């Protein structure tokens, strides 16, 4: 089972690397637009946990979504990863938050304000690939599965993907599926 996941992970890392910066920007803008449209139907959501993009991994530009949420008066959180475990500390960010790159080149807030996870209603999740029923493959370290396992099960799990889904990804007991996934063209509901 892991070998199939490993093959998909490798293939989609390569597929990402083949994107030009213009293509990445275009899809990021489209995903942000889909998200903004989706929010019209979800005005009751006020607390969002987002990932910040790792540039060399060609991730979706979530600064666009962060800025939109803050303009809407929503509370926005992100995580700071621990160097010695898969534990992530939740921190609050606002329009004045400045960022620096950690040793993995992940943007993290300067002077972070630690926050409890109890208020989080939706988590935007980085991924490489997802399937037609909401299974996903990330970078394989397990940070998000561990983080999601600590949250209330009602928290919405929202993937952001540069590509359309594959037919099937094998899942394991610890894998937590998505509720939604946004691509440049469509919002998938699971």
Burial of 133 (0-12, 13-18, 19+ CB in 10 A): middle
Chain centroid to Cα 85, Å, comes to 19
Chain-wide mean pLDDT for the chain? 93
Contact in structure between 169 and 135 (CB atoms under 8 Å):
yes
DSSP SS3 for 182: strand
Q: At what angle do helices 21-39 and 63-71 cross, to 10 degrees?
A: 30
- Token reading at 116: 């409890």
> What does the pLDDT average to over 155-160?
98
Q: Which residue in 159, 173, 172 sits closest to 131, CA to CA? A: 159
Q: What element of type H or E holds 16? A: helix 2-17
State residue 183's pLDDT score: 98
pLDDT band at 151 (very low <50, low <70, confident <90, very high): very high
Options 3.40.190.10, 3.40.50.10420, 3.40.1280.10, 1.10.150.20; CATH of 2-189: 3.40.50.10420
Q: What is the mean pLDDT of residues 107-119?
A: 92
pTM score, two decimals?
0.93
Q: d(Cα 24, Cα 56) in Å, to the nearest integer?
A: 12
pLDDT of residue 82: 72
Domain range annotation of the chain: 2-189
- Per-residue pLDDT tens digits for 78-92: 998 876 767 789 999
**How many angstroms separate the CA atoms of 136 and 126, rounded?**
9
User: Which letter does DSSP use for residue 166 in this model?
Assistant: B
The pLDDT assigned to 182 comes to 98
Q: Three-state SS for 169?
A: coil
Phi, psi of 49 (to 5 degrees): -100, 125
Report residue 2's pLDDT band, with 50, 70 and 90 as the boundaries. Answer: low
- pLDDT digit string (tens) for 35-63? 999 999 999 999 999 999 999 999 999 99
Query: What is the average pLDDT across 84-102?
Result: 89
Q: What are the pLDDT digits (tens) for 134-150?
A: 999 998 777 888 899 99
135 token code pair: 């299974």
């Amino acid at each position: 089972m892991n070998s199939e996941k490993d093959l998909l992970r490798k293939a989609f890392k390569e597929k990402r690397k083949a994107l030009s910066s213009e293509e990445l920007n275009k899809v990021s803008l489209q995903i942000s637009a889909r998200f903004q449209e989706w929010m019209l139907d979800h005005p009751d959501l006020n607390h969002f946990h987002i990932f910040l993009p790792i540039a060399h991994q060609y991730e979706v530009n979530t600064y666009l979504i962060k800025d939109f949420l803050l303009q809407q008066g929503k509370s926005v959180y992100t995580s700071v990863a621990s160097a010695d475990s898969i534990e992530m500390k939740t921190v609050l960010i606002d329009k004045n938050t400045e960022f620096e790159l950690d040793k993995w080149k992940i943007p993290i807030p300067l002077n972070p304000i630690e926050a409890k996870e109890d208020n989080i209603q939706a988590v935007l999740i980085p991924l490489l690939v997802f399937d037609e029923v909401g299974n996903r493959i990330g970078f394989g370290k397990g940070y998000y599965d561990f983080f999601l396992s600590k949250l209330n099960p009602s928290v919405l799990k929202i993937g952001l993907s540069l590509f359309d889904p594959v037919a099937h990804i094998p899942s394991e007991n610890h894998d937590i599926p998505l509720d939604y996934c946004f691509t440049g063209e469509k919002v998938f509901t699971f």
